[in-house]
A and B are shown apart, each in its own frame.
Chain A
Amino acid sequence: MDFLFGNILHGLAVAMTPANLALCFAGCVLGTLIGVLPGLGPTATVAMLMPVTFWLDPTGALIMMAGVFYGSQYGGSTTAILVNLPGESSSVVTCLDGYAMARQGRAGAALAIAALASLFAGTVTTFLIAWAGPAIASVALQFQSPDYVAVMVLGLVAAVVLAHGSVVKAVAMILLGIFLGLIGTDVSTSEQRFTFGLDTLFDGIGFVPLSMGLFGLAEIMFNLEGGAEGNRTRVAINRLWPTRRDFREATPAAVRGTLLGCFLGVLPGGGSTIPSFAAYSLEKKLARDPSRFGRGAVQGVAAPEAANNAGAQACFIPMLSLGIPPNAVMALMVGAMMVHGIQPGPQIIQKQPDLFWGLVASMWIGNLMLVVLNLPLIWIWVKLLEVPYRFLFPAVIVLCGIGVYSLDNRLSDVVLMAFFGVFGYGLRKLECEPAPLLLGFILGPLLEENFRRSLMLTGGDASIFLTRPISLSFLVVSVILLAAVLLPAFRQRREQWTEEA
């Protein structure tokens, strides 16, 4: 423990220098801004900051880039709650209950819960990185392809839980998501699938155009159905701060979300999206009254927000201690270190203690800054809801267009977003939910890739999934979860039949 506190103090000394504090603040502000702008994600922003790092010292540069990354997780939830637009893929599930709360006039409470849950998760994860980062990374190293298959299966089963309403429709949406995920070049063979020879589809459909179309644009169309002010219920905003009951309900959810986020964030390919979906599913499963989810349940905001922030920070663990970037932003940070001749990896803690501990300490400081920055802003954001919809929706569409375009500087992504907007509108009319579709879209290709690879490695022996302990345990959990979902549904139906008979 002395070792831990000594190191944290050392890190604080590095992070508290005026220059590093300023960079951390700049990163957080920038992150919040891009988080609020739909579609403009941390990847593009960190990429733009890349040249700056040629002249900054590496610790300062990384502190700033990290600030942008976790800052955007805070900002991303703002648009999700206010206008049903996930600013980042990790805030997709926040839309479900956050937006519902906003429609009930409780946008302020939702934003506050999101910010506080994020702060809690950020604090816990910072200490976790300091205390057990390398040890956790070595656990993640035990994961092989068959184990990932089992994790993805669990994720897909959890996606069924995500849905409220018809299980059949949820399964259909997952399958549709998996299908959409298949589009593009196959990793195993380099064959193109369902691309119709269109360049745009070679790398598959982007997550951002898909999610912004399905959630944001579809919602706008739905709202506009009844004229400019549409179906948008205008509710008086009575109080900004969450009630005591909100806190009581949100706290355990935030704790569970944090733990899940830490765990899933460490896995390669992790980050903050899958943890946020998983945390939401878990809360819904644990809730005494699952029907409240999707109708403004506080837990449905607290858990995914805690999970995505925990995930965002936990993915620094494999990057720093193994030198393996689990996502694009981490790859950029590895790039920034390489420019200075620093190779992230097992030896970084001994070789670059200032950088490692300084970065860890700055994350905690940055999280505090974000809350201080964000809580007073809630009032302004909520005011935004009072802007007449006929002014708000064109602005939102323009921002979406800019955000999607800026991802890869491609016009076709904007067209795709528009297409999925119409598609999403159709789904809403059919009462099909887009959230399971998105999860299928993310997990399906990973499932296929790892499944084929597993069989390739074993020469076609499928028993590998049952003989590896990690894989087996995830599969067992999936079966139990599936049974828990399906059995009550069957029982109810049987009761109905028996009543009718």
Chain B
Amino acid sequence: MNRSSRSTHGLASMADRVRAGLAIGAVAALAAVPTLAAAQAFPSQPISLVVPWPAGGGSDIAMRLLADGATRRMGAPVVVVNKPGAGGTVGLKEVAQSKPDGYTLAMLATGALFAQYNNPAANAVSDFELIAFFGDDPSALTASAKTGFKTVADFIAAAKASPGRLRNGNDQPGGTSHVTVSLLEKALGVRVIKVPYAGYAPTVQALLAGELDTVTVGVPDVLQHQQAGTVQMLGVAATQRHFLAPDVPTFREQGIDFVAGTWRVIIGPRGIPADRLATLESRLLETMNDPEFKTKARTAGFIVSPLGRADTARRLAAEDAAMYPVFLEAGLVKTRQK
């Protein structure tokens, strides 16, 4: 699997292929003369980017795009390795236990905040070096066209008229979509039935089938149906409108301070030397700020909003502070109480 994805990366351009060849040469040299290799510039061998989710999902696509761009900037191939399992816990654990030499990185997403409280086997977010923030995938509140809701105000009115009767589709307790609707309930002062589905595709399917009134999933998941008129996005839970749905107002524009969704961060195991961390941070930021990369990512539906190490840490601390009470209230905090 690795070999194949490496060689396909090499298809990018002739220059890349040559560079990958050089890197492989470097690896061979490295095996021969280990002491010499240690003194060489970082990175001198391929970097693995562990994606703790299956191939083909949003995170996988985002990271494959990033790996493709970063390969050019790093001067060494960046290879995506899928290590799915237990909501991202399995892959992250492996990275936490890997050698902190900067050659093993991973993607960490919103769910890791939850896993550290719920799953005794999961690593704490503090077990990792936060290297760079990739971007947000904001959630949206979307209603079936059958409900007739046009704005968040319509939703609030209906939810208040019959408390605990509207049916919202989301993922399992603790998942991003479930957390989003739980935070939304708090922000709006309403109660709904939170119906769990295994994944966003079945959730949207159930909304279309008339089994649900609303869903709390990402904008790309419902975009086509919005355009077809079968569903209505009521509000986007972000600070700005989503570029894919520029005519849908944010919650803030409708007078409600509510921001939620999935975000992705590039991390490594604790203990990576400071100079290597700095190299990784700057090269990743360069990659993500490259206009060509931004265009590619945008075409694929991703908002890229890169942040450096310090800002990423601040952002995650704020997210943690907002979400922890939700987990606590739902009885999902089983380990590592705050």
Given known contacts A49-B8, A51-B64, A324-B201, A142 and B56 CB-to-CB distance under 8 angstroms = no
The answer, yes or no, to whether B211 is at the interface (CB within 8 Å) is yes
User: In the bound complex, how far is the Cα of B208 from the Cα of A141, in angstroms?
Assistant: 7
List B contacts of A49 (CB < 8 A).
8
Q: Are B54 and A328 in contact (CB under 8 A)?
A: yes
Known contacts: A49-B8, A335-B60. The answer to whether A324 contacts B204 by CB under 8 A is yes
The interface residues of chain B lying within 8 Å CB-to-CB of A185 are: 86-87, 172
Chain A contacts for B11, CB-based, 8 A: 51-52, 55
Contact indicator per residue, chain A 310-338, by CB within 8 Å of chain B (1) or not (0): 00000000000011111010011011001
Asked whether A339 and B65 contact (CB < 8 A) given A188-B196, A268-B201, A323-B224, the answer is: yes
- B173 contacts which of A44, A190, A335, A340 (Cβ < 8 Å)? A190
- A54-B65, A457-B167 given; A410·B83 CB < 8 A: yes
Q: Is residue B89 contacting chain A, with contact meaning CB distance below 8 A?
A: yes
- A49 to B4 alpha-carbon distance, docked (Å): 8
Q: A202 within 8 Å of B by Cβ?
A: yes
B193 within 8 A of A: yes
| C-alpha gap A53/B206 in the complex (Å) | 30
B220 engages A47 (CB within 8 Å): no
Whole-angstrom CA separation of A218 from B92 in the bound complex: 34
Q: Are A54 and B68 in contact, with the CB atoms below 8 A? A: yes
Inter-chain CA distance A463–B1, complex, in Å, is 49
Chain A count of residues within 8 A CB distance of the other chain: 56
How many Å from the CB of B279 to the closest CB on chain A? 24
Digitize A452-478: 1 where CB-to-B-CB distance is under 8 Å, 0 elsewhere: 010011000000000000000000000
Q: Is B121 an interface residue (CB 8 A)?
A: yes
| Docked pose: A497 CA to B301 CA in angstroms | 70
Tell which of A326, A409, A457 touches B1, judged by Cβ atoms closer than 8 Å. A409
Contact between A47 and B195 (Cβ–Cβ < 8 Å)? no
State whether the Cβ of B55 lies closer than 8 Å to any Cβ in chain A.
yes
> Is the Cβ of A145 less than 8 Å from the Cβ of B61?
no
B300 touches A48 (CB 8 A): no
Chain B residues with Cβ under 8 A from A408's Cβ?
54, 82-85
Q: Please, which residue of chain B has its CB at the minimum distance from the CB of A333?
A: B56
Q: Is B210 a contact of A144 with CB atoms below 8 Å?
A: yes
A-B contact count (CB 8 A): 166
Q: Is the CB of A190 within 8 A of B61?
A: no
Cβ–Cβ contact A268 & B195, under 8 A: no
Contacting pair A187 B197 (CB below 8 A): yes
Q: Point out the residues of chain A lying under 8 angstroms from B301, CB to CB.
A: 338, 341
How many residues of B are in contact with the other chain, CB < 8 A?
A: 62
The distance in angstroms between the C-alpha atoms of A331 and B209, with both chains bound, is 20
Judge if A353 is at the interface, Cβ distance under 8 Å: no
The answer to whether residues A338 and B300 also contact, given A145-B206, A347-B227 and a CB cut-off of 8 A, is yes
- Taken together as a complex, chains A and B put the C-alpha atoms of A245 and B300 apart, in Å, by 53
Q: Closest Cβ of chain A: how far from B86's Cβ, in Å?
A: 3
B12 CB within 8 Å of chain A: yes
Chain B CB within 8 A of A376 CB: no
Query: Chain B residues near A202 (CB, 8 Å)?
Result: 85-87, 89-90, 119, 121
Does A335 lie within 8 Å of B61, measured CB to CB?
Answer: yes
User: Would you give the shortest CB distance from B325 to chain A, in whole angstroms?
Assistant: 17
Contact call B196/A187, Cβ cutoff below 8 A: yes
**Contact of B202 with A by CB under 8 A:** yes
Given the contacts A44-B1, A47-B82, A199-B85, A341 and B299 also touching, CB distance less than 8 Å: yes
Distance in Å: Cβ of A294 to nearest Cβ of chain B: 34
A381 within 8 A of B: no
In the complex, the answer to whether B209 meets A142 with C-beta atoms within 8 Å is yes
Contacting pair A335 B57 (CB below 8 A) = yes
Supply 26 A–B pairs (Cβ within 8 Å), ascending by A. A47-B55, A47-B82, A48-B8, A50-B56, A50-B64, A51-B11, A54-B68, A142-B209, A144-B210, A145-B211, A190-B174, A202-B85, A268-B201, A323-B225, A324-B202, A332-B56, A339-B61, A344-B224, A345-B225, A345-B227, A346-B230, A347-B227, A408-B54, A453-B197, A457-B167, A457-B211
B-to-A contact residues, CB < 8 Å: 1, 4-5, 8-9, 11-12, 54-58, 60-61, 64-65, 68, 81-87, 89-90, 93, 118-121, 167, 172-175, 193, 195-198, 201-202, 204-206, 208-211, 220, 223-225, 227-228, 230, 296, 299-301, 332
With A50-B56, A202-B89, A324-B205 given, can you name 10 additional A-B contacts, CB distance below 8 Å? A48-B55, A52-B8, A54-B68, A188-B172, A188-B196, A200-B85, A268-B202, A324-B202, A335-B57, A453-B195
Leading 4 A-B pairs by shortest Cβ distance = A345-B224, A47-B55, A332-B56, A202-B86
